[in-house]
Amino acid sequence: MKAVHRVLEPNLLDPDAEGRCALAVMTKAPRAGQVKTRLVPPLRPEEAAELNACFLRDTANAIADATGNVARGIAVYTPVGAEDAYIDILPNNFDLLLQRGNGFGERLAAANEDLFRIAFASVCLIDSDSPTVSAECYTQAVNLLSAENDRVVLGPSDDGGYYLIGMKRNHRRILEKIDWSTERVFDQTVQRAAELNLAVEFLPISYDVDDRTTLRRVCDELLGENAKSTINIAPATRTFLRGIIEREGRERIWPRS
Protein backbone atom coordinates (compact mmCIF):
# COMPACT_ATOMS: atom_id res chain seq x y z
CA MET A 1 0.00 0.00 0.00
CA LYS A 2 1.29 3.44 -0.88
CA ALA A 3 2.14 5.82 1.93
CA VAL A 4 -0.02 8.86 2.56
CA HIS A 5 1.63 11.96 1.13
CA ARG A 6 3.37 14.34 3.49
CA VAL A 7 1.25 17.33 4.55
CA LEU A 8 3.26 20.56 4.64
CA GLU A 9 2.96 22.85 7.63
CA PRO A 10 2.84 26.50 6.51
CA ASN A 11 4.38 27.75 9.75
CA LEU A 12 7.51 25.61 9.32
CA LEU A 13 10.37 26.26 6.92
CA ASP A 14 11.10 23.32 4.65
CA PRO A 15 14.79 23.05 3.67
CA ASP A 16 13.82 21.07 0.56
CA ALA A 17 11.82 24.08 -0.70
CA GLU A 18 14.69 26.55 -0.74
CA GLY A 19 15.64 27.67 -4.23
CA ARG A 20 12.83 25.69 -5.85
CA CYS A 21 9.57 26.53 -7.58
CA ALA A 22 6.34 25.12 -6.15
CA LEU A 23 4.14 23.73 -8.91
CA ALA A 24 0.97 23.68 -6.85
CA VAL A 25 -2.29 22.31 -8.23
CA MET A 26 -5.51 23.44 -6.55
CA THR A 27 -7.74 20.44 -5.91
CA LYS A 28 -10.90 19.32 -4.18
CA ALA A 29 -11.14 15.66 -3.16
CA PRO A 30 -12.86 13.83 -6.08
CA ARG A 31 -16.09 12.73 -4.41
CA ALA A 32 -19.30 11.98 -6.29
CA GLY A 33 -21.77 14.84 -6.21
CA GLN A 34 -19.15 17.34 -5.03
CA VAL A 35 -16.95 17.85 -8.10
CA LYS A 36 -17.59 18.47 -11.80
CA THR A 37 -21.33 18.83 -11.19
CA ARG A 38 -21.76 20.80 -14.45
CA LEU A 39 -20.86 17.60 -16.30
CA VAL A 40 -23.86 15.79 -14.77
CA PRO A 41 -25.46 14.96 -17.16
CA PRO A 42 -24.16 13.60 -19.54
CA LEU A 43 -21.92 11.96 -16.92
CA ARG A 44 -23.23 10.27 -13.82
CA PRO A 45 -22.02 11.75 -10.49
CA GLU A 46 -19.57 8.91 -9.85
CA GLU A 47 -18.23 9.23 -13.41
CA ALA A 48 -17.75 12.97 -12.98
CA ALA A 49 -15.77 12.32 -9.79
CA GLU A 50 -13.61 9.71 -11.52
CA LEU A 51 -13.03 12.04 -14.48
CA ASN A 52 -11.97 14.72 -12.02
CA ALA A 53 -9.49 12.26 -10.54
CA CYS A 54 -8.18 11.54 -14.05
CA PHE A 55 -7.72 15.27 -14.70
CA LEU A 56 -5.72 15.58 -11.50
CA ARG A 57 -3.69 12.45 -12.25
CA ASP A 58 -2.74 13.78 -15.70
CA THR A 59 -1.93 17.25 -14.39
CA ALA A 60 0.15 15.88 -11.52
CA ASN A 61 2.10 13.55 -13.81
CA ALA A 62 2.84 16.42 -16.20
CA ILE A 63 4.01 18.49 -13.25
CA ALA A 64 6.19 15.62 -12.03
CA ASP A 65 7.80 15.39 -15.47
CA ALA A 66 8.60 19.10 -15.31
CA THR A 67 10.06 19.34 -11.82
CA GLY A 68 13.57 17.89 -12.00
CA ASN A 69 15.76 19.37 -9.27
CA VAL A 70 14.40 22.90 -9.59
CA ALA A 71 10.71 22.44 -8.72
CA ARG A 72 8.38 20.35 -6.58
CA GLY A 73 4.83 19.17 -7.06
CA ILE A 74 2.27 20.15 -4.43
CA ALA A 75 -1.47 19.43 -4.21
CA VAL A 76 -3.29 22.22 -2.37
CA TYR A 77 -6.31 20.26 -1.22
CA THR A 78 -9.67 20.45 0.52
CA PRO A 79 -11.46 19.35 2.69
CA VAL A 80 -9.48 18.59 5.82
CA GLY A 81 -9.27 14.86 6.38
CA ALA A 82 -9.22 14.02 2.65
CA GLU A 83 -5.53 13.09 2.54
CA ASP A 84 -6.19 9.42 1.77
CA ALA A 85 -8.12 10.38 -1.38
CA TYR A 86 -4.85 11.26 -3.11
CA ILE A 87 -2.87 8.08 -2.39
CA ASP A 88 -3.56 6.49 -5.79
CA ILE A 89 -3.80 9.76 -7.73
CA LEU A 90 -0.64 11.75 -7.01
CA PRO A 91 2.95 10.71 -7.71
CA ASN A 92 4.86 9.58 -4.64
CA ASN A 93 7.07 12.68 -4.62
CA PHE A 94 4.12 15.09 -4.30
CA ASP A 95 3.36 16.81 -1.02
CA LEU A 96 0.01 18.11 0.25
CA LEU A 97 -0.94 21.54 1.57
CA LEU A 98 -4.36 22.17 3.10
CA GLN A 99 -6.38 24.97 1.55
CA ARG A 100 -7.60 27.79 3.76
CA GLY A 101 -9.88 30.74 3.16
CA ASN A 102 -13.49 31.12 2.09
CA GLY A 103 -13.82 32.20 -1.54
CA PHE A 104 -11.69 31.04 -4.44
CA GLY A 105 -9.57 34.20 -4.47
CA GLU A 106 -8.89 33.87 -0.74
CA ARG A 107 -7.81 30.27 -1.19
CA LEU A 108 -5.41 31.18 -4.00
CA ALA A 109 -3.95 34.02 -1.96
CA ALA A 110 -3.58 31.82 1.12
CA ALA A 111 -1.87 29.04 -0.85
CA ASN A 112 0.54 31.55 -2.37
CA GLU A 113 1.32 33.02 1.03
CA ASP A 114 1.80 29.63 2.68
CA LEU A 115 4.11 28.28 -0.02
CA PHE A 116 6.35 31.35 0.10
CA ARG A 117 6.36 31.14 3.90
CA ILE A 118 7.53 27.51 3.67
CA ALA A 119 10.54 28.90 1.71
CA PHE A 120 9.81 28.23 -1.96
CA ALA A 121 11.66 30.65 -4.24
CA SER A 122 8.69 30.95 -6.60
CA VAL A 123 5.15 29.62 -6.78
CA CYS A 124 2.86 28.52 -9.61
CA LEU A 125 -0.81 27.97 -8.74
CA ILE A 126 -2.38 25.57 -11.24
CA ASP A 127 -5.96 24.49 -11.87
CA SER A 128 -6.99 20.84 -12.04
CA ASP A 129 -9.46 21.33 -14.92
CA SER A 130 -6.95 21.48 -17.79
CA PRO A 131 -5.58 17.95 -18.24
CA THR A 132 -4.15 18.58 -21.71
CA VAL A 133 -1.56 21.14 -20.56
CA SER A 134 1.83 19.60 -21.29
CA ALA A 135 4.86 19.14 -19.06
CA GLU A 136 6.70 21.52 -21.39
CA CYS A 137 4.35 24.34 -20.34
CA TYR A 138 5.16 23.77 -16.68
CA THR A 139 8.87 23.62 -17.45
CA GLN A 140 8.57 26.90 -19.32
CA ALA A 141 6.88 28.50 -16.30
CA VAL A 142 9.65 27.33 -13.97
CA ASN A 143 12.32 28.65 -16.32
CA LEU A 144 10.63 32.04 -16.66
CA LEU A 145 10.42 32.39 -12.89
CA SER A 146 14.08 31.47 -12.46
CA ALA A 147 15.22 34.39 -14.61
CA GLU A 148 16.29 37.71 -13.12
CA ASN A 149 13.86 40.50 -12.25
CA ASP A 150 10.42 40.19 -10.73
CA ARG A 151 7.59 39.06 -12.97
CA VAL A 152 4.30 37.21 -13.27
CA VAL A 153 3.68 34.16 -15.47
CA LEU A 154 0.19 33.44 -16.79
CA GLY A 155 -1.18 30.43 -18.66
CA PRO A 156 -4.30 31.81 -20.39
CA SER A 157 -7.50 29.83 -20.79
CA ASP A 158 -9.66 30.68 -23.75
CA ASP A 159 -12.68 31.32 -21.52
CA GLY A 160 -11.05 34.48 -20.17
CA GLY A 161 -9.39 32.93 -17.13
CA TYR A 162 -6.07 31.20 -16.63
CA TYR A 163 -4.86 27.69 -15.82
CA LEU A 164 -1.64 28.87 -14.16
CA ILE A 165 -0.40 31.94 -12.36
CA GLY A 166 3.22 32.10 -11.27
CA MET A 167 4.99 34.65 -9.06
CA LYS A 168 8.50 35.24 -7.73
CA ARG A 169 7.15 37.10 -4.70
CA ASN A 170 3.91 37.07 -2.75
CA HIS A 171 2.07 39.86 -4.58
CA ARG A 172 -1.32 39.49 -2.90
CA ARG A 173 -2.71 42.47 -4.81
CA ILE A 174 -2.68 40.44 -8.03
CA LEU A 175 -5.31 38.12 -6.56
CA GLU A 176 -7.53 40.82 -5.05
CA LYS A 177 -10.69 42.38 -6.48
CA ILE A 178 -10.92 39.84 -9.30
CA ASP A 179 -14.30 38.79 -10.71
CA TRP A 180 -13.65 35.09 -10.28
CA SER A 181 -15.39 32.59 -12.59
CA THR A 182 -15.99 35.24 -15.26
CA GLU A 183 -14.43 36.05 -18.61
CA ARG A 184 -12.76 39.10 -16.98
CA VAL A 185 -10.32 37.20 -14.78
CA PHE A 186 -7.35 37.17 -17.17
CA ASP A 187 -7.64 40.83 -18.19
CA GLN A 188 -8.10 41.99 -14.60
CA THR A 189 -5.06 39.99 -13.52
CA VAL A 190 -2.90 41.55 -16.23
CA GLN A 191 -4.17 44.96 -15.09
CA ARG A 192 -3.21 44.23 -11.47
CA ALA A 193 0.30 43.29 -12.61
CA ALA A 194 0.55 46.55 -14.56
CA GLU A 195 -0.46 48.49 -11.45
CA LEU A 196 2.50 46.88 -9.67
CA ASN A 197 4.84 47.55 -12.63
CA LEU A 198 5.39 43.82 -13.07
CA ALA A 199 6.28 42.25 -16.40
CA VAL A 200 3.91 39.47 -17.47
CA GLU A 201 5.08 36.40 -19.38
CA PHE A 202 2.56 34.20 -21.17
CA LEU A 203 2.41 30.44 -21.64
CA PRO A 204 0.52 28.73 -24.51
CA ILE A 205 -3.25 29.10 -24.32
CA SER A 206 -5.35 26.14 -23.12
CA TYR A 207 -8.88 25.44 -21.88
CA ASP A 208 -10.81 24.16 -18.87
CA VAL A 209 -13.07 21.11 -19.11
CA ASP A 210 -16.10 22.01 -17.04
CA ASP A 211 -19.26 21.67 -19.15
CA ARG A 212 -20.79 19.72 -22.05
CA THR A 213 -19.09 21.86 -24.69
CA THR A 214 -15.60 21.47 -23.30
CA LEU A 215 -16.19 17.76 -22.58
CA ARG A 216 -16.87 17.33 -26.27
CA ARG A 217 -13.78 19.39 -27.05
CA VAL A 218 -11.48 17.18 -24.97
CA CYS A 219 -13.03 14.09 -26.60
CA ASP A 220 -12.26 15.58 -30.01
CA GLU A 221 -8.68 16.32 -28.99
CA LEU A 222 -7.91 12.99 -27.33
CA LEU A 223 -10.08 10.57 -29.32
CA GLY A 224 -10.83 12.29 -32.63
CA GLU A 225 -9.30 11.87 -36.07
CA ASN A 226 -6.19 13.89 -35.19
CA ALA A 227 -5.64 12.32 -31.77
CA LYS A 228 -2.34 10.71 -32.79
CA SER A 229 -0.69 14.12 -32.45
CA THR A 230 -1.65 14.18 -28.76
CA ILE A 231 -0.90 10.54 -27.95
CA ASN A 232 1.26 11.43 -24.92
CA ILE A 233 -1.15 14.02 -23.55
CA ALA A 234 -3.66 13.27 -20.74
CA PRO A 235 -3.43 9.46 -20.85
CA ALA A 236 -5.65 8.85 -17.81
CA THR A 237 -8.38 11.13 -19.15
CA ARG A 238 -8.13 9.55 -22.59
CA THR A 239 -8.43 6.01 -21.21
CA PHE A 240 -11.40 6.86 -18.99
CA LEU A 241 -13.37 8.59 -21.76
CA ARG A 242 -12.61 5.82 -24.23
CA GLY A 243 -13.89 3.26 -21.72
CA ILE A 244 -17.28 4.98 -21.45
CA ILE A 245 -17.59 5.16 -25.22
CA GLU A 246 -16.64 1.51 -25.72
CA ARG A 247 -19.14 0.36 -23.09
CA GLU A 248 -22.09 2.60 -23.85
CA GLY A 249 -21.55 4.22 -27.23
CA ARG A 250 -20.17 7.51 -28.43
CA GLU A 251 -23.43 9.44 -28.28
CA ARG A 252 -23.69 9.41 -24.49
CA ILE A 253 -20.78 11.80 -23.95
CA TRP A 254 -19.50 12.71 -27.42
CA PRO A 255 -22.37 13.37 -29.84
CA ARG A 256 -21.59 13.85 -33.49
CA SER A 257 -22.05 17.26 -35.05
| Whether the predicted pLDDT of 3 surpasses 70 | no
d(CA 89, CA 40): 22
Statement: residue 230 has pLDDT above 80: no
CA–chain centroid gap for 172, Å, is: 19
pTM of the model: 0.96
Please, which pLDDT band fits residue 14 given cuts at 50, 70 and 90? very high
Buried b (16+ CB within 10 A) or exposed e, 103-117: eebebbbbbbbbbbb
Query: ∠16-20-22 over CA atoms, to 5°?
Result: 95
Tell me the pLDDT tens digit for each residue of 184-214.
Answer: 999 999 999 999 999 999 999 999 999 999 9
pLDDT the model gives residue 67: 86
Q: Give how far Cα 223 sits from Cα of 25, 194, 202, 238, Å.
A: 25, 40, 28, 7
Cα–Cα distance measured from residue 178 to residue 103, given in angstroms and rounded to the nearest whole number = 11
SS3 content of the chain, % helix, strand, coil (to 5): 40, 20, 40
Is the model's pLDDT at 183 over the cut of 60? yes
Q: What CA–CA distance (Å, rounded) separates 171 from 208?
A: 25
**CA neighbor of 123 nearest in space, from 79, 78, 55, 76:** 76
3-state SS assignment for residue 23: strand
Q: Which amino acid is at 192?
A: R
Tell me: pLDDT of 5 over 70.
Answer: yes
Query: What is the distance of C-alpha 75 from the center of its chain?
Result: 9
What would the mean pLDDT of 101-121 be, rounded to a whole number? 96
